[in-house]
Structure formats: C-alpha cells, structure tokens
C-alpha cells in the first residue's frame, strides 16, 4: 500500500468510525463524549478512564483502538486530540480501591470521574454533554443518555480517542512508578503479567501498587 492508498484507506476508516457520532448529530445532539478505559487487566497500577468530546469536523487520520497503535503514534495522537477536542477528562482509580470494590466497579468509577471532568471543562465553554458513547460498559447511575458499544474503541472515533488518552495517561503513570519500583519492569510491561514482572515478584515480593486481589487469584500472595 503506497502513501496515497494508505491515506485513502484511513479517510474511509475515519468516516466509518464517525457513524455513531454522525447519527447522533443528525438527531440534534451537539456534544458527544466517547468513554474508554485502560488497565483493567494488569497485576499492578491504577485503572484509568478518559472521556473525550470531539468537534463535528474532527478529521485527524489514524485515530483507532489504542491497542492497534504504536506507543509513538499514541503519543502523537494524544497531543493532537488534547489540542483539538472540545473538552476531555481523566479518571484514575488506584489499586487499593480496585482491591476493595473489584475491577469492574473501579472501571465504572474511573469512567464517571472522567465524564464529570470532561463535563466541567465543556461547561466552562458553555456546553453540556448530550450523549455518551461507552466502550462495552453501561453506567446505569449516570443520567446522561448513553450507548454501550462492544469493541467500541474500534467502531467509534470518540471512543477510540478516549482509549488513546486513557492509555497514554496510564502508561506515563506506570513509567513513573518504574522509577520508584524498578524491579518489576513497569516501564516495559505497564503492570501486566510478563516474565520479567513475575520474576520481580518472586525476587522482591509485591510493592505498594500491586493489586492484591489479582495476585491472590494467581496464588502469588
């Protein structure tokens, strides 16, 4: 695929990923927030969610499910999305709360915090979120109309944008934790259960950011 063919492909992909947003805009919904999380599966660190409200004319090519992108591309898109979005917010729930209430409830809590922050930021400009597009999860106690989309980070540009914001934010946090706890390879594995991570646990035990509920399931503590 040459450069021109790739650009044409990406334009087509972007148009397809704006289907949900276009349908809502057509119904008169002005501000749509895409919501997604990063970090449900790791053995250590927080779960991080993002909510992103894109303008109707958003046309940045390459926005996709964060897992399909390189770290370099995610960083590039993070900067673009943060600059061109109408508003965005981040929610972070740490490992202690995850252990207390379980990862699904912690994910929902992070999403609600991200939505609230994005709503405040949008409100400062005189707007209000009219609809939520959420990756897989339903937030029944949030009064904003919403649509839960399975694999939404690959189907909705707003959710994909949120997946990038959440992933980059969490990766940066895990890089910081690596400086504090260098024995587990957090800079590389971001808290997931890699060989280096398991070796670090075997050698040094667990640290303050490990999810004890996850490690108990694997009989590691």
Task: Please give the average per-residue pLDDT across 194-199, as a whole number.
Answer: 96
Q: How far apart are CA 186 and CA 9, in angstroms?
A: 35
| pLDDT band at 218; cut points 50, 70, 90 | confident
Helices marked H in the chain — which ranges?
Answer: 3-17, 19-26, 71-84, 95-101, 103-123, 157-180, 186-189, 195-204, 212-217
Q: Is 126 left (phi over 0), alpha (psi -120 to 50) or beta?
A: left
DSSP letter (8 states) at residue 44 = B
Q: pLDDT tens-digit profile of 3-36?
A: 889 989 999 999 999 999 999 999 999 999 999 9
Of 75, 77, 74, 112, nearest to 91 (Cα)? 112
Q: pLDDT tens-digit profile of 115-174?
A: 999 999 999 989 999 999 999 999 999 999 999 999 999 999 999 999 999 999 999 999
Q: pLDDT tens-digit profile of 70-93?
A: 999 999 999 999 999 999 999 999
| pLDDT band at 221; cut points 50, 70, 90 | low
pLDDT at 1: 80
**CATH superfamily of the 3-169 domain:** Ribonuclease H-like superfamily/Ribonuclease H (3.30.420.10)
The whole-angstrom distance between residue 109's C-alpha and the CA centroid of its chain comes to 13
Domain residue ranges of the chain, discontinuous segments joined by +: 3-169
pTM of structure: 0.96
Residue 76, judged by CB atoms within 10 A of its CB (0-12, 13-18, 19+), counts as middle
At residue 189, φ and ψ (nearest 5 deg) are -95, -10
pLDDT at 208 exceeding the cut of 80: yes
pLDDT at 69: 97
pLDDT at 100: 98
Q: How far apart are CA 212 and CA 99, in angstroms?
A: 6
Mean pLDDT for the chain overall:
96
């Amino acid at each position: 695929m040459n450069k021109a063919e790739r650009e044409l492909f990406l334009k087509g992909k972007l148009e397809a990923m704006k289907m949900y947003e276009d349908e809502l805009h057509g119904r008169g919904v002005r501000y749509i927030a895409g919501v997604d999380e990063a970090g449900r599966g790791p053995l250590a660190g927080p779960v991080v969610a993002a909510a992103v409200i894109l303008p109707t004319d958003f046309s940045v090519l390459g926005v996709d499910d964060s897992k399909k992108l390189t770290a370099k591309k995610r960083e590039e898109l993070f900067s673009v999305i943060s600059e061109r979005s109408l508003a965005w917010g981040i929610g972070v729930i740490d490992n202690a709360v995850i252990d207390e209430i379980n990862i699904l409830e912690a994910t929902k809590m992070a999403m609600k915090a991200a939505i609230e922050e994005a709503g405040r930021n949008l409100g400062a400009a005189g707007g209000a979120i009219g609809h939520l597009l959420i990756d897989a999860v339903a937030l029944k106690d949030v009064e904003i109309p919403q649509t839960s989309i399975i694999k939404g980070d690959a189907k909705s540009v707003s959710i994909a944008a949120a997946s990038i914001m959440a992933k980059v934010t969490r990766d940066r946090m895990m890089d910081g934790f690596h400086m504090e706890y260098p024995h587990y390879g957090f800079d590389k594995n971001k808290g997931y259960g890699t060989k280096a991570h398991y070796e670090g646990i075997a050698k040094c035990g667990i640290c303050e950011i490990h999810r004890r509920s996850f490690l108990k399931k694997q009989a590691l503590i």
